[in-house]
Amino acid sequence: MNKRQIKLMQGNEACVEGALAAGIKFYAGYPITPSTEIAELCAEKLPQVGGKFIQMEDEIAGIAATIGGSLTGLKSMTATSGPGFSLKQENIGYAALAEIPCVIVNVQRAGPSTGLPTAPSQGDIMQAKWGTHGDHPVIALSPTSVRETYDLTIKAFNFSEKYRTPVILLLDEIIGHMREKVEIPNSDEIEIIDRLKPSVEDADEYMAYKPKKGELVPPMAAFGEGFNFHVTGLMHDDFGFPTNDANISDQLLRRIMKKIDNNVNDITMYEEEFMEDAEFLVLAYGGTYRSARSAVKKARLLGYKVGLFKALTIWPFPEKRIREISNKIKKILVPEMNLGQYVLEVERVVKNESEVHHLGKVNGEAITPEEILSKIREVL
Amino acid sequence: MVSRKEIRLSGSGGQGLILGGIILAEAAILDGNNAVQSQSYGPEARGGASKAEVIVSSKAIDYPKVEKADVLLALTQIAYNKYINTLDSNGILIIDSTIEHDHNRNIHKVIQAPILSIASNKVGRAMVANIVAIGLIQQLTNVVTKNSLETAVLNRVPKGTEKLNKSALLEGYQLAKNKYYLEAASV
């Protein structure tokens, strides 16, 4: 085996390196702090691998072109932050219903509105799930380190290709902008998934929205390869043509939801630590997880029996596991850089099995280990 | 073995402190340690308060930000005033000669040195003050080795400025040998 490369790398840079490893060939976007390095590096590196970078006129055009790029068969990505993420919502819904794989990176900064452009936040957790209108499938991932940013960017592309759906990668300014030591895995250690394509013989009767029997994800042809199909944001039939038919509409929406709902075990990623004798749980994600881990280690030294849960997949929520945990652990703390978003999901799932506490911070500064530790003390 | 060392480089935007932090972090990695570098800055490209942070440890680094700085560098009065309270009681304060230091503060070790003027007048470019400063930090703390620091400087500075930056680094080393100490240990 080749020796792995060890580098000092920034989170945003690892996102681009991960995207390249996953096979990205198209990026369109509009630069916005704190995600700008992703656009800059894509502009530099995509032409070197035969890809294309386009700086669009605005955020909406950025995702629109990304969706178009994917329809031509290229793995496509765009990156943004809060204000741009808001603007992209309509087209995220379009990609979900038209089943166009793409990756949308949101490096979260403090909002609402233009807020604090250079300061971290985790305020877009619920927006990632509910930002676009109507019921729609959502996959959102959130790394806690530079290495995980590399890995989860690859995962984001893999999930988007496998399930033919947009995937949201939620970084925050802490993870996006920090640099740390990373070991880059060799290409033979990385699993890459490409979208399922129809076979050439099927060109005449190709139906872009009809999965094979017993499956949920239809094979996807690329525009320009001789397959004809129609793409619309309206409810549509198997050929992609608009319909008002109640049955077809119902079946379509239920099928695209099932792509995720029936594969929760494949998509849900989390890690646990210090759980054996834990009587108290800290559940954290993204940049805040780093503070939580430091706090939990300090709490352990002080004799508190605290466990730690890291949510890498934000949506779908790791429902089953959190419910199991709540049968055993009666107190759960959720620290997050917002005024109470992910904690709502924990409360929903544990019902009244566990007491759920929240530590929120929205002043543009990271939650410190000390703040989490004193909350642990207060609650225990 | 390096136990967690927290370094905060502060000054104004445009002084190259973030690059200084990146170089220190890269040097630490070349030494085989872990390092995390982060920064905070305002929306403006120049001016404003800027800080870069580096944490070096032989163990995993969880919280990536400085809690209590073991080393605080301040190149401007505004940065000094803003961050002076974040220095650990056993920490080292490194300030430029242009800064008015409050002598009533109980600080373990204070080094005041003409970092900005050495860069402008002796090396010949104000923009290398960051490299002078990290040379000085290396000598005062040994948080990274000289070899790794030199490699990291040459890796990260723009092509064509290697010689200039190397001489800035040497001036930084030299500063540590001179007796610019304002106060020695008060503990």
Both A301 and A178 in a single domain? Answer: no
Locate the chain A residue with the closest alpha carbon to B56: A180
Res B185: pLDDT = 37
φ, ψ of residue B156 to 5 degrees: the values are -105, -15
Contacts of B22 in chain A (CB under 8 A): 8, 179
Given A8, A291, A293, which is nearest B26 (Cβ)?
A8
A223 lies in some domain: no
3-state secondary structure of A151: helix
Mean local confidence (pLDDT), A132-156: 98
In a domain, A341, yes or no: yes
Residues from chain A contacting residue B67 (CB–CB below 8 Å): 368-370
The CA distance from A203 to A222, in Å, is: 11
Nearest to A117 among B43, B61, B67 (CB): B43
Interface test with A, best of B29, B62, B153 (most A CBs within 10 A): B62
Model confidence at B12: pLDDT above 60: yes
Same domain, A156 and A296: no
Burial class (CB in 10 A: 0-12, 13-18, 19+), A50: exposed
Quick check: is A250 in a domain? no
pLDDT digits (tens, 9 = 90+) for B63-94: 999 999 999 999 999 999 999 999 999 999 99
Question: Are the C-beta atoms of residues A361 and A337 closer than 8 Å to each other?
Answer: yes
For residue A359, what are the domain limits?
Answer: 269-379
Q: Are residues A28 and A169 located together in one domain of the fold? A: yes
CATH number at residue A75: 3.40.50.970
Report the C-alpha gap between A45 and A16 in whole angstroms: 9
* C-alpha atoms less than 13 angstroms from C-alpha of A323 in its C-beta half-sphere: 7
* Residues A307 and A171 both lie in one domain: no
Amino acid at A333: L
pLDDT in tens, A81-110: 999 999 999 999 999 999 999 999 999 999
Q: What percent of chain A has pLDDT over 70?
A: 99
Mean pLDDT of B132-161: 97
Is A49 a domain residue?
yes
Among A189, A219, A241, identify where a domain stops: A189
- Is B148 an interface residue toward A (CB < 8 Å)? no
pLDDT of residue A183: 95
pLDDT for the residue numbered B40: 82
- Residue B183's pLDDT is 46
Contact between A291 and B35 using a beta-carbon 8 Å cutoff: no
Whole-angstrom Cα distance, residue A108 to residue A82? 6
A133 shares its domain with A282: no
The reply to whether A275 and A180 lie within a common domain is: no
pLDDT(B45) > 70: no
Picking from B83, B118, B117, the residue whose alpha carbon sits closest to that of residue B7 is: B83
pLDDT in tens, A154-194: 999 999 999 999 999 999 999 999 999 999 999 999 999 99
Predicted pLDDT of residue B180? 56
Give the pLDDT of residue B14.
Answer: 86
* Residues whose CB falls within 8 Å of the CB of residue A177, separated by 6 or more in sequence, listed in order: A10, A11, A12, A34, B38, B39
For residue B50, the model assigns a pLDDT of 85
What chain A residue is nearest to B35 in terms of C-alpha separation? A180
Q: For chain A, how many structural domains are there in total?
A: 2
Domain boundary among A150, A173, A189: A189
CATH match of B5-183 with 3.40.920.10 = yes
Contact B38 A177 (CB under 8 A): yes
CATH code for the domain in which residue A304 is found: 3.40.50.920
Task: Please check whether residue A262 lies inside any domain of the structure.
Answer: no
Nearest CA in chain A to B21: A179
Name residue A204's amino acid.
D
Query: Above 90 in pLDDT, residue B43?
Result: no
Query: For residue B35, is pLDDT > 50?
Result: yes
Query: At which of A167, A189, A211 does a domain end?
Result: A189
